[in-house]
Amino acid sequence: MGRVAIVNDVAGVGPLQAEALRQAGWQADFFDLPKPGARWPRWAKVLVLPYRLALYVPVVWRLRRGGYDLVHVHFVSQGVVGALSGRPYFLHAHGSDLHLNFASPLMKRWSERWMRGARRIFYVTPNLAVFLEGFEGKSLLLPNPIDVNRFSAIPPPERIEAVLIFMRLLDVKGPEVAFAGAAEVADMFSLTAIDAGPLAAELKQRYADRVDFIAPVAHDEIPGLLARHQAVIGQMRQGVPGLSALEAMAAGRVVLMALDARLYPTNPPPVINVQSAPQIAQRLRELHDAAAELGRLSRAGRDWIEAHHSLRAHAEALIRGYEGKD
């Protein structure tokens, strides 16, 4: 057992990871990082970088003085904090820190500097492995932790009445396919989407008459949001379930998304694999009153999350990673 500092919150994963380690008997403290300009364009983020680094100084000071055995930093571009801590450090890649940041030569060079010094680089979904060429020897798939207890009281669906398009509206997630498919069955279901992301304005203009756009909700409000919807449409381009889809499965919701089965050669997530807008609409129509199938999918999703993403499963995999065991 050791003493770990978890640094930076990405979608609630950092604090949850610290809790998973504590439940496993480790000492774990969480430190968030200031994020001025987090939603700004990449060029603006570069301009604000010196100011952001200055804000990191108090956190780095606490890491250096805290007697930690290791430092675990979320988002590879923040690896500078691990390097400055003076402790062995691990990096945790979440997606956009690879597939978006690596599109910029400057951000890629910045990130790879810290990747070279890291003991290990965790990545949350199998599609991200392609971005870690040259770092395969220290890279390890580590699925995101899900606090299944937060969702356990939500009853399984008996019929589909409300559908949630549950993703940030970024081109890389393929939201246009999800909206086109949902719009085909707007006469059958209540449709909701999160008003967040660079494509939100365009999609609202096209679909506001059929889809209710709501403001992003706080993380502790997600169980309530999922309880009001029986089916969720997830990512249509990445080939993997994102954190939103994982939480939807933990809540027993039916998840429709484009799954790349090649990334899951054994025990794939029990989602409904749809590759086009017509397939989304067809499957929603078929499941509308299919109580038995909805119940089966609900149970299968919850069981899969418990086995692969529960705090217990996450802590076991994380500790093996810290100890150099794959």
Q: Tokens in use for 279? A: 């397939």
Going by pLDDT thresholds of 50, 70 and 90, the confidence category of residue 55 is confident
Q: Does one domain contain both 169 and 282?
A: yes
Q: Determine the structural domain holding residue 133 and report its residue range.
A: 3-145+310-322
Q: Does one domain contain both 62 and 7?
A: yes
Between CA 107 and CA 103 the distance in angstroms is 8
Going by pLDDT thresholds of 50, 70 and 90, the confidence category of residue 41 is low
pLDDT by residue (tens digit) across 227-256? 999 999 999 999 999 999 999 999 999 999
Are 240 and 259 a contacting pair, CB within 8 Å?
yes
CA atoms within 13 A on the CB side of 27: 7
Are 86 and 64 a contacting pair, CB within 8 Å?
yes
Q: Does one domain contain both 60 and 161?
A: no
The chain-wide mean pLDDT, for the chain, equals 93
Q: Does one domain contain both 165 and 210?
A: yes
Q: Does one domain contain both 127 and 176?
A: no
Q: Does one domain contain both 10 and 120?
A: yes
Are 177 and 276 a contacting pair, CB within 8 Å?
yes
pLDDT by residue (tens digit) across 262-308? 999 999 999 999 999 999 999 999 999 999 999 999 999 999 999 99
Q: What is the pLDDT of residue 37?
A: 55
Going by pLDDT thresholds of 50, 70 and 90, the confidence category of residue 100 is confident
Q: Does one domain contain both 273 and 162?
A: yes
High-pLDDT (> 90) share of the chain, %:
86
At 21, is the secondary structure helix, strand, or coil? helix
pLDDT by residue (tens digit) across 2-29? 899 999 999 889 999 999 999 999 999 9
Residue 38 has pLDDT above 70, yes or no: no
Between CA 258 and CA 126 the distance in angstroms is 14
Q: Does one domain contain both 210 and 318?
A: no
Number of domains, the chain = 2
Q: Does one domain contain both 126 and 182?
A: no
Q: What's the average model confidence in pLDDT over 197-216?
A: 96
Q: Does one domain contain both 155 and 290?
A: yes
Between CA 171 and CA 161 the distance in angstroms is 27
Q: Does one domain contain both 87 and 199?
A: no
Q: What is the pLDDT of residue 51?
A: 59
Q: What's the average model confidence in pLDDT over 89-94?
A: 97
Going by pLDDT thresholds of 50, 70 and 90, the confidence category of residue 36 is low
CATH at 83:
3.40.50.2000
Closest alpha carbon to 233 in 181, 160, 188, 308: 181
Closest alpha carbon to 138 in 175, 160, 166, 112: 112
Q: What is the pLDDT of residue 50?
A: 66
Q: Does one domain contain both 183 and 201?
A: yes
DSSP type of residue 239: B
Q: What is the pLDDT of residue 257?
A: 98
Residue 311 has pLDDT above 70, yes or no: yes
Q: What is the pLDDT of residue 53?
A: 74
Place of tokens 């499957």: 283
pLDDT by residue (tens digit) across 157-176? 999 999 999 999 999 999 99
CA atoms within 13 A on the CB side of 273: 11
Q: Please, what's the b/e burial string for 36-62 (b: 16 or more CB within 10 A of its CB; e: otherwise)?
A: eeeeeeeeebeeeeeebeeebeebbee
Q: What is the pLDDT of residue 312?
A: 96
Q: Tokens in use for 301? A: 């999703």
